[in-house]
Structure 1
Amino acid sequence: MLDRVRQTIQDYHLLVPGDKVVVGVSGGPDSLALLHSLMTLQEEYGYTLQVAHLNHGLRPEAAADAEYVRDLATGWGLPVTVAQRDVLAYRQEHHLSIEAAAREVRYNFFQEVAAAVGATRIAVGHQAEDQAETVLLNLLRGSGLTGLKAMLPRRGRLIRPLLFVTRAEIEAYCRDNGLHPRRDFTNEDPAYRRNKIRHQLLPLLAREYNPAIVATLGRTALILQEDEALLADLAHRALEGIIKRREGETLVLDRQGWQDLAPALQRRVLRLAAATLGRRVSFNQVEKARAVAREGGTLTWPGRLSIRARGAELHLQLPGKSAGKVSFSYQLQVPGLTPLPEVGKAIRAEIAPPPRAFKPGREDEAWLDRAKLKQPLLVRNWLPGDCFRPLGMKGTKKLQDYFIDRHLPAARRPLIPLVISEGRIAWVAGLGLAEDFKVTPATRETLHLKLEPWP
């Protein structure tokens, strides 16, 4: 198992010397094997470890699990952070399933610990069976490549060193190294769909169809991850190539240019165009829009986004919004997600190391030097008299003039979120970063912001 972990670290560049790694440890076999293997390889790769355990407060044994992890980490000489969160309250507030709420709360906690200790990586214990279960779950939901690619070995600073290790190998590793994991008996409860796949469907597939089903599904996910990355890049380029103009809440595409695309790119371009206007659409909704785009006519998607094929143009349009009536102001959640329902957007924030590579054209996200920011940060709409210093400029510029320079229609301007630090504009979301908050070679930690559709 250790050789497999070492190979995964090397193949996917999961760790580099000097990294500080937050390791999520529940006390179960997977996370215990993860922690022990990373501790064993610590000197070889030159990183440091910080253990993090979250008590979800959902099981009677949860407090004992927390104490077990605390004692284990202390006994191994590792720093440890143990906390408890009210997952049920979070679930009710955000209208999520219990599994989704627990997952979001857990990852928010890991981000908080990483920010507090200055960590550059967060390691979690997902393994090969987890990957196979995820592929099957998403297949049963009817997911496309985005869902079938399942979990990545590395996503941002989140890493999964055990992703190609089987549950049997983990159990053997625990026995061989004298590890005594805790057991979460909710993992046996067939009321959860993932558990039914784990204990019923996967064994059936292995017994009746393919003894190597776990490895096969893992290999499938790996192939689809690479295919998805290629298609996503092609779709972004295709959309940029057929945009004729943006007019407030309307996106106008070259209809013939869209029709000349392969069907797979037609679908992706329509989804991307909808996302540009803050809407998510299903496969069936995209198929209906494809018919309209080919044959002519009008269709209205949920969220009041209309698709109209007229002559040589394809219009995607939201209902007009009155500039004078849009007003919002929220404290930016760091780390976390800050919804901006007035404009159909949200800003996701995380503390992260400076990016090793960043394409300047991605204006829907920004990296700011965290040391130059003053908490709390504010997100609000444009106000008369707003000024800021655009990236690369020596002096300040009125935001109204900046909007004019960017050919932004007047109706669209109040819908642009502004991230504010002590009264100063740090980021004009989706348009440009302020010079005063840019990342430099001296930057040690950044605030990574990303503008996303909402809901």
Structure 2
Amino acid sequence: MLEVRRAVRAWATAYLPGGGPVAVGLSGGADSLALTAAAVVEIGEVDALIVDHRLQSGSGQVAAEAVAAALGLGCRSARVFAVDVGTEGGVEAAARKARYEALDTARAGLPVLLGHTLDDQAETVLLGLARGSGGRSIQGMAAYAEPWGRPLLGVRRATTRQMCADLGRTPHEDPHNLSPEFTRVRLRTEVLPLLEDVLGGGVAPALARTAEQLREDGALLDVLAEELLEAARVPGVAADEPGTAGDEVALSIETLATAPAALRRRAIRSWLLDSGAKALTDRHLRAVDALVTAWRGQGGVAVGGGSPDTRLVAAREHGRLTLRGHDRCPRE
């Protein structure tokens, strides 16, 4: 119990210097239940937000029990939000999207504490490693990425379960957490135990440490990349030129080309996202980077984003890297 409380206290000291109130995303499971109990003691004013995904029969009863538990622990309020889970990206991704949207809508400007533990962090790092999208994809979850706070990233899942037992609370066991059809469940029940056995233990903490170190390195690289981006900015093409999307900002090819690859790609990624690009992949980023460092007369690179009528295309033009909206279909 003390370990969880100390973790919440340390998080509040670092990220909530003015004190509460906070909201907590409460599922009724051991992790969020232990987090809620610790937050009430260490922070004081806590609103419990319970999302009912309605994916299982009896989910309304589970949500009602979570409300009762929250109020019993001393939360000043507890509310349930029923959501409709879509199908895009699979059940896991769709449920996560619906959950975060509901929490963001309901939080009323408060930071939202989430019960992710060190074990969740290790699983996230492994998933990122499998994607192969570079250091950013294996940085894991941040302790605070506004409005989401994760005080328990240094706490093991077994510790939150023990805290619930110490408090005499019986957490809800989500059947989905044992279903092998979900990738994260197989990581939890098959892959990580195998790695622990083969490597002699300590794998989850080692993965979490790696994530923390990469986040620290990434923060510095982001600062340097922003400086490069500012140095590379040049006035964009005029808004009334054919094919332009408006007040554009172009980047100097010469300035980008002389920068180290790690900084250049980070700067390009930031520029693309700030300019409206969506769902950037490593393939997109490398193709745009090739316009700077390996140009052989190739055409522009279409990236996600734009509008129903236009698509965003990055191109090399007159020594500049530009991003413009192009008609998706030729005009009549």
Q: Would the TM-score normalized by the shorter structure come out above 0.5? A: yes
Number of the residue aligned with 1:22: 23
AA partner of residue 294 (structure 1): T
Separation in structure 1 between the aligned mates of residue 196 and residue 326 of structure 2, nearest angstrom: 55
- Which of 256, 267, 270 is the equivalent residue of 1:269? 267
Flag the structure with higher helix content: 2
Aligned to 1:10: 10
* Corresponding residue of 2:315: 307
Is the CA contact (8 Å cut-off) linking 2:3 and 2:155 kept in structure 1?
Answer: no
Letter in 2 for 1:36: A
One-letter amino acid matched to 1:173: M
> Cα RMSD over matched residues?
2.4
Rate the CA distance shift 1:319–1:24 in 2: closer, same or farther, 3 A: closer
CA distance in 1, matches of 2:148, 2:168: 28
Counterparts of 1:35 and 1:304, CA distance in 2: 44
- The answer to whether the aligner puts 1:152 opposite 2:151 as a matched pair is no
Q: How many residues in Structure 1 have an aligned counterpart in Structure 2?
A: 309
SS in structure 1 at match of 2:142: coil
In 1: Cα distance, 2:8 partner to 2:206 partner: 17
Local SS of the residue matching 1:208: helix
Partner of 2:321, secondary structure, is strand
Q: Secondary structure at the match of 2:99?
A: helix
Residue number among 175, 179, 187 corresponding to 1:197 in the alignment: 187
Q: Which residue of 2 aligns with 1:343?
A: none
**Alpha-carbon distance change, 173 to 276 in structure 1, aligned in 2, over 3 angstroms:** closer
Tell me the CA shift for residue 4 of structure 1: 5.1
Using the alignment, how far apart are the partners of 1:18 and 1:319 within structure 2?
45
Q: Could you tell me which amino acid in structure 2 is paired with residue 256 of structure 1?
A: E
Question: Which digits, 9 at most, give the CA deviation of each residue in 1:210-245, with x for residues without a partner?
Answer: 411111111111111111111112111101101222
**What is the correspondence of 1:343-354 to structure 2 with a 5 Å cutoff?**
none
Q: Is the 8 A contact 2:118 2:155 kept in 1?
A: yes
Pick from 46, 49, 54: which aligns with 2:51? 54
How far did 1:191 drift? Answer: 0.6
Aligned to 1:255: 253
Following superposition, the deviation at residue 53 of structure 1 comes to: 1.2
Q: 1:211 to 1:85 in 2, by over 3 A?
A: same
| Residue 251 (structure 1) shift | 4.1
CA distance in 2, matches of 1:114, 1:317: 36
Quick one: distance in 2 between partners of 1:218 and 1:166? 11
Q: Which residue of 1 aligns with 2:322?
A: 316
Distance 1:298 1:319, change over 3 A: farther
d(CA) in 2 for partners of 1:317 and 1:177?
56
Q: Describe the superposition over 1:35-86 as per-residue Cα deviations: whole angstroms up to 9, x where unpaired.
A: 12222334xxxx3111221211111131221121122233344333333423
Deviation above 4 Å: which 4+ runs of structure 1? none
2:78 aligned with 1:81, yes or no? yes
The worse-fitting range, judged by mean Cα deviation, of 254-263 and 77-86 is 77-86
Find the aligned partners of 2:273 and 2:72 in 1 and give their Cα distance: 49
SS of structure 2 residue aligned to 1:125: coil
Distance in 2 (CA, whole Å) between partners of 1:131 and 1:219 is: 10
Aligned equivalent of 1:282: 281
SS at match of 2:47: strand
Q: Secondary structure at the match of 2:79?
A: strand
With over 3 angstroms needed to count, the CA separation of the structure-2 counterparts of 1:178 and 1:258, relative to structure 1, is same
Partners in 1 of 2:157 and 2:104 — Cα distance?
27
Bigger share in strand: 1
SS at match of 2:51: strand
